[in-house]
Structure 1
Amino acid sequence: MQTFQFALLLLFPALVVVAALKDVASYTIPNWISLALIVAFLPVALISGASLTAAGACLAAGVVALLVGMGMFAAGWIGGGDAKLFAAAVLWLGWPAALPFMLVTGMAGGALTLGILSLRSGWFEPVLAGSPAWIRKLGAPGGDIPYGVAIAIGALATFPQGALALAIGA
């Protein structure tokens, strides 16, 4: 049974990686990714052995993260898809990992922003000219920052500390 539980847990990292790749390629995170994470959470939590109390705490953390994400979206700091992915990630991670997740996501977001701003500085124009279209788009001045990448890095880094991963390990 534990192998099946681990296999179900792979859904989370797989979907956040897909979200990051979609964000880099198109500056959008499709709603189906966040929706799939939300819909899959409770069945995976229960199969993983998380108690209803732990699942409820994860749900509460996800709601708080959604409110925070909505605030960041309203302030223009992140996109709507980023806010939804942020909340869905916290739903899966729960309280044990929510704060480290936000810290790692913030640091990854800062590094990502600095990297993309340096890419857009003009120094890399000769390299960008022969690059694939999605890299040229990243290097185009005035473009957005695909923050889904930072969210995915934070989610992957803190996933082992998350409520569902800990439920299986218990």
Structure 2
Amino acid sequence: MHVLQISLLLVFPALAIVGALKDLTSYTIPNWISLALVAAFVPAALVSGAPLGQIGLCLAAGFGALVLGVAMFAAGWIGGGDGKLLAACALWLGWPAVLPFMLYTALAGGALTFLILGLRSAWVAPVLAGGPAWMRRLGVQGGDLPYGAAIAAGALAAFPQGLLAQSILG
């Protein structure tokens, strides 16, 4: 049973990393990543032994993050895939780990912004010109930010504090 629990638990960081890489390389996070996170949460929660009340708090955290993600998408701050990834990660982390998750995501977003601004500086542009297309796109002046990378970084940082990680490993 422990191998099954660990296997299901590893779905979360694996899909968060895939979401970050997809966003960095294509500025899109496919719906299947968020849907797979939501679908994998159910069996992971069932085998974790977490109390139903705590699982309910996970659902509430995910729904709250979805509302927040929709609002940020409507304001033009993030893309739709970013909002869905934010909600799916919050679902896995639950309460109270969703709070450090949001803080870590904001900090990672700030670091990502400075990194991208550095890539968009005049002295780095010639270096990027010889790089792959996805890297050149990151250096385009006025381009978007692949915020899915910040969401994944925040999720991975908060992961050990999450309900399912605590239930299985703690």
**Could you tell me whether the CA contact under 8 Å between 2:8 and 2:43 is conserved in 1?**
no
Q: CA RMSD in A?
A: 0.9
What TM-score does the superposition give when structure 1 sets the normalisation length?
A: 0.97
SS of 1:136's partner is: helix
Distance 1:4 1:47 in 2: 8
User: For residue 119 of structure 1, what is the amino acid of its counterpart?
Assistant: L
User: For residue 60 of structure 2, what is the amino acid of its counterpart?
Assistant: A
User: For residue 160 of structure 2, what is the amino acid of its counterpart?
Assistant: P
User: For residue 121 of structure 1, what is the amino acid of its counterpart?
Assistant: S
Alignment size in residue pairs: 170
What TM-score does the superposition give when structure 2 sets the normalisation length?
A: 0.97
Question: 1:96 Cα deviation (Å)?
Answer: 2.2
Match runs of 1:117-132 below 5 Å:
117-132=117-132
Distance 2:4 2:39 in 1: 18
Distance 1:105 1:56 in 2: 23
**Could you tell me whether the CA contact under 8 Å between 1:38 and 1:91 is conserved in 2?**
yes
Question: 1:169 Cα deviation (Å)?
Answer: 3.0
User: For residue 97 of structure 2, what is the amino acid of its counterpart?
Assistant: A
In structure 1, what is the equivalent of residue 44 of structure 2? Answer: 44
User: For residue 149 of structure 1, what is the amino acid of its counterpart?
Assistant: A
**Could you tell me whether the CA contact under 8 Å between 1:42 and 1:55 is conserved in 2?**
no
Distance 1:61 1:129 in 2: 42
Distance 2:79 2:107 in 1: 18
Q: Among all aligned residue pairs of Structure 1 and Structure 2, give the percentage whose two residues are the same amino acid.
A: 68
In structure 1, what is the equivalent of residue 17 of structure 2? Answer: 17
Question: 1:82 Cα deviation (Å)?
Answer: 0.3
In structure 1, what is the equivalent of residue 6 of structure 2? Answer: 6
SS of 1:41's partner is: helix
Question: 1:3 Cα deviation (Å)?
Answer: 2.2
